[in-house]
């Protein structure tokens, strides 16, 4: 399932924040960990061509030295490791390499440094999410992560659902991880107590959903989650489900924080009431706010 896991690094201990999760996945799946240093290459101006080449060679040499050191530590722990240095635009280098090498997962820290710019939402990480079709595992480390950090203790996969086929596109990955890592699957659906409606010619307004309607929605959501959950249980997986109330992203993040050893797995497209789960909306907000690992899947077109 995860034969190749691509881990972009920039030389900082913060960027190494994804490694504990990568170790957790790589050992049972027998994955090859591909360490990639992607850096902006200097522009080769005619009068500065020699200087640009010298700078490029220096960057490559330092990057190779750093990746060799990281690979040595991981190999001592029994992992299969490859290294690669790419010079050019950081986000493009990551996405192009992921496609060319047909990796199965990109694992990134959401806060790190790449020279002067930061890898953060709105920058390289955001661009990778928007342009790659590969699954992306995002980890927001609390601080610097040493190379010999222990694997992250993943116990539960929280799967936000909304009744759409797009949201269910994450389930094949959830099945594979739950079976291999012996994790419990926790299905959740968030029901908002309010919705936004348009009263023409006035602007949009907020309407509180009546209690009896909310109760009916809760029943429907519970039935939907139970149907999905029972299908997974028939495959031998441990599954539970819950209907939550509140703002979708906030409740998902809050629920994950209340669930130790959890990972959130969700798609970038789906439906939540009248709103779409698009990158820039619920999935984006969860990635920005969650302190737990988040696996983001883009569903197939159509």
pLDDT band at 201 (very low <50, low <70, confident <90, very high): low
- Give dist(CA 29, CA 75) in Å, integer: 16
Picking from 107, 139, 171, the residue at the C-terminal end of a domain is 139
Judge whether 151 lies within some domain. no
Q: What is the pTM of this model?
A: 0.85
Let me know whether 26 and 132 are in one domain: yes
Q: Compute the Cα dihedral for 45, 46, 48, 53 and give only its sign.
A: positive
pLDDT for 46: 47
Peptide linkage before 193 cis (omega within 30 of 0) = no
Structural domains counted in the chain: 2
Longest CA–CA span in the chain (Å) reads: 74
- Residues 268-277, mean pLDDT to the nearest whole number: 51
19, 276, 283, 12: which is closest to 163 by C-alpha? 276
Range of the domain at 174: 156-297
- Residues 192-205, mean pLDDT to the nearest whole number: 55
Residue whose structure tokens are 């698009």: 278
- Residues 111-137, mean pLDDT to the nearest whole number: 68
Which helix (H) or strand (E) element contains residue 266? strand 262-267
Condensed to tens digits (0 to 9), the pLDDT of residues 133-179 reads 899 999 988 778 889 999 999 999 999 998 888 889 999 999 999 99
Let me know whether 134 and 170 are in one domain: no
What contacts 257, CB < 8 A, 6 or more positions away?
290, 291, 292
Is 214 in contact with 193 (CB distance < 8 Å)? yes
190 is written with which tokens?
Answer: 């968030």
- Give dist(CA 167, CA 266) in Å, integer: 7
297, 292, 295, 290: which is closest to 248 by C-alpha? 290
Let me know whether 160 and 226 are in one domain: yes
Which of 61-65, 74-78, 283-287 bottoms out in mean pLDDT, i.e. has the lowest? 283-287
What contacts 279, CB < 8 A, 6 or more positions away?
129, 130, 268
Let me know whether 29 and 72 are in one domain: yes
- CATH number, residue 131: 3.40.50.620
């Amino acid at each position: 399932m995860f034969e190749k896991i691509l881990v972009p690094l920039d030389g900082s201990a913060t960027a190494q924040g994804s490694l504990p999760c990568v170790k957790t996945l790589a050992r049972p799946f027998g994955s090859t960990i591909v360490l990639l240093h992607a850096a902006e290459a200097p522009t080769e101006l005619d009068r500065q061509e020699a200087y640009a080449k010298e700078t490029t060679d220096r960057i490559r040499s330092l990057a190779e030295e750093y990746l060799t050191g990281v690979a040595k530590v991981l190999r001592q722990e029994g992992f299969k490791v490859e290294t690669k240095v790419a010079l050019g635009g950081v986000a493009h280098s990551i996405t192009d390499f992921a496609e060319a090498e047909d990796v199965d997962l990109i694992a990134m820290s959401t806060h790190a440094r790449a020279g002067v710019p930061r890898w953060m939402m709105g920058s390289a990480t955001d661009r990778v999410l928007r342009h790659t079709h590969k699954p992306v595992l995002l980890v927001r480390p609390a601080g610097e992560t040493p190379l010999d950090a222990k694997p992250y203790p993943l116990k539960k996969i929280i799967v936000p659902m909304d009744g759409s086929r797009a949201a269910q596109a994450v389930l094949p990955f959830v099945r594979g991880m739950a079976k291999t890592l012996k994790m419990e699957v926790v299905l959740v659906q968030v029901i908002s107590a309010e919705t936004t409606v348009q009263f023409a010619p006035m602007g949009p307004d907020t309407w509180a959903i009546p209690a009896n309607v909310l109760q009916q929605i809760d029943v429907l959501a519970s039935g939907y989650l139970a149907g999905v959950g029972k299908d997974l249980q028939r495959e031998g997986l441990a599954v539970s489900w819950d209907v939550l109330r509140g703002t979708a992203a906030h409740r998902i993040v809050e629920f994950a924080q209340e669930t130790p050893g959890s990972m959130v797995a969700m798609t970038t497209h789906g439906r939540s009431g009248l709103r779409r789960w698009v990158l820039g909306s619920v999935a984006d907000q969860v990635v920005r706010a969650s302190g737990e690992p988040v696996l983001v899947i883009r569903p197939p077109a159509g």
